[in-house]
Structure formats: structure tokens, C-alpha cells
Homo-oligomer: A and B are copies of this chain.
Amino acid sequence: MQSSTGRPPATRTGRPRSAAADTAILAATREALVELGWSGLTLGDVASRAGVAKTTLYRRWAGKNELVVDAVAELFDALELPDRGSLAADIEDVVLQLAVLLSRPEARCGLMAVVAESTLDEALRERIRTSIVQRQKRLVHTGRVRAQRRGELPPDPDPAEAARTVDLTFDMVAGAVLHRTLVSGRPADEEWVHDLTRVLLTGLTTPGPTP
């Protein structure tokens, strides 16, 4: 749970916080996002959906932004990278998963809205990075390691170079899906995923003139 801010003192006195409340609140947040969207989402409404008082909500999160980041982060944590046998298949699989995820309104509008808010809020930007972006780079990393074991990719020349490639790959995959589904507003169907995978694979496996 990302809502815990610091180290609680070893001996805690007083009534402890309800663990069930956190779960209920995050679920209610996603539910409200689906029905009302970002601007229609009301903390009072979330509270009553979760069967919780507004104050309980404010005791745990600083505001709408932080709450939605946590609610959306849980969605992204559900992404997986099963071994499909080849790098191409693995890429297609994760791209499709991402496309499915971004077709869900709570993911779409939750993510875009907090990203929009983060443009003037460095703390929020950092929270998004650690709660969502960094956690999902594990998918790219896993895929690369697997492909290297299979011999589809050469071993990493050096760690810095590898990190750059992971970052670039992640931005290209996630960015393409995101732009396709949200900005262009067209479906990331199988044909499109296939085309994207082909371009990506070719571009990433063909050795470039980068010295």
C-alpha cells in the first residue's frame, strides 16, 4: 500500500486504522472513475461508495491526485509477461495486455488525469514514476533476459547501454499503445499490434551504428 507515509512508531496506541477501508476506498475510486470520469469524481462520493466517512479518506490520502495514482497503480500491477516462446510473441502479448488495460475507462482517464496534474506538481510526478512507471519496466527487463537466453538478442554490452535500451523500448511500446488508444482514439486491434511488433522488433534487433 502506497498510502503509508513514514515509519510508524514501534508501539502504536489508540485504535488502529481499518485495513479493509483502504481496499474498499481504492475499489470505490476505480468504480467512480468508470462512471463519472476524473472531473466528475468526488471524494465524498468515493467515501460513500466505500461505506466510509470522508474524513477517513482524507486521513489516508492528501487528495484526489494521490488517491487516483494508487488506485490506478493497482491496475497496472496486474500486467504479466507469460513466456510465449519467442520475443515477437512476448511483445505482442504484452502490447495486447496493455491495450486491453487502456481500454478500461478507469485506467484511461485515471492515468491521463494524474499525468496532466503532474505537470505542475513535482511530488506527484515522482509518485507516478515510482508507483507505476518503474514497477512496469520489469516487463521489458524480463522479456529481454528471456530473449537473450533464447539467443534472439545479444548479451548486454554494458549496463548503462542496457538501461537506455530498456527505457527506450518501454517508452516506445507504452507510448504507441497509449497514443493509439487515447489520443488517436482508434482501437489497438490485432493487425495494428502485429504491425507495431514487426517495426519494433526489426528496429531493436538490427544492429545500429551507435558506437
Contacts and interface: CB of A to CB of B under 8 A. Distances in A.
Interface of A: 36-40, 105, 108-109, 111-113, 115-121, 125-126, 128-129, 132-133, 164, 167-168, 170-172, 174-180, 182-186, 192, 194-196, 198-204, 206, 208-210
A47 B73 CA distance: 37
Contacts of A105: 119-120
A158 to B, nearest CB: 15
Contact of A175 (B38, B175, B198): B175
Copies in the complex: 4
Interface of A is mostly: helix
A186 to B, nearest CB: 7
Contacts of A172: 172, 175-176, 179, 196, 199
A115 B186 contact: no
Q: Looking at A117, A195, A199, A200, which has the most chain B CB atoms within 10 Å of its CB?
A: A199
Contact of A183 (B113, B128, B196): B128
A91 B179 CA distance: 18
A195 B210 contact: yes
B182 A168 contact: no
Contact of A195 (B36, B108, B121, B168): B168
Nearest to A209: B198
Given A115-B183, A118-B182, A198-B208, 6 more contacts: A116-B116, A168-B192, A172-B196, A174-B183, A175-B175, A175-B177
A116 to B, nearest CB: 3
